[in-house]
Copies of this chain bind each other. A is one copy, B any other.
Amino acid sequence: MLFAVKMDVEIPQDLDAAVREDLLSREKNYCQDLQKAGRWVHIWRCAGQYANLSVFDVADNDELHTLLWNLPLFPYMKVSVTPLATHPSALDAAAAAS
């Protein structure tokens, strides 16, 4: 089941540099692990923004919430969620909705 997720990031300028590096490194690993696991199926940078547009493929709302809640950068993000359904004009409808 697919969800579009927009994440706007705002890390305070005065955050300790080492803490910041650690956060960003853990965020990248976390993100790539979920991509390899087939859960985080798309991630794009919104041009000119500290933000991304992503698509998640999860079993249900609880799994979606758990994945997002555990993002290392979650406390510094504004997150919006759009549940996605199959579009009747989509050629890949079956695959997209799986």
Interchain CA distance A44-B46 in the complex, whole Å: 19
Pairwise interchain contact A47-B32, C-beta atoms closer than 8 A? no
Interchain CA distance A2-B64 in the complex, whole Å: 13
Q: How many copies does the complex hold?
A: 10
A interface: dominant SS: mixed
Pairwise interchain contact A83-B3, C-beta atoms closer than 8 A? yes
Which residues of B have CB within 8 Å of A75? 13
Interchain CA distance A89-B73 in the complex, whole Å: 14
Which residues of B have CB within 8 Å of A27? 89
Q: How many residues of A contact B (CB 8 A)?
A: 49
- Which residues of A, 5-44, contact B by the 8 Å Cβ criterion? 5, 12-13, 27-28, 31-32, 35-36, 42-44
Q: A45-B86, A46-B84 are in contact. List 12 more A-B contacts (CB 8 A).
A: A1-B60, A13-B75, A28-B88, A31-B89, A35-B90, A45-B84, A46-B82, A47-B82, A47-B84, A48-B80, A49-B81, A60-B60
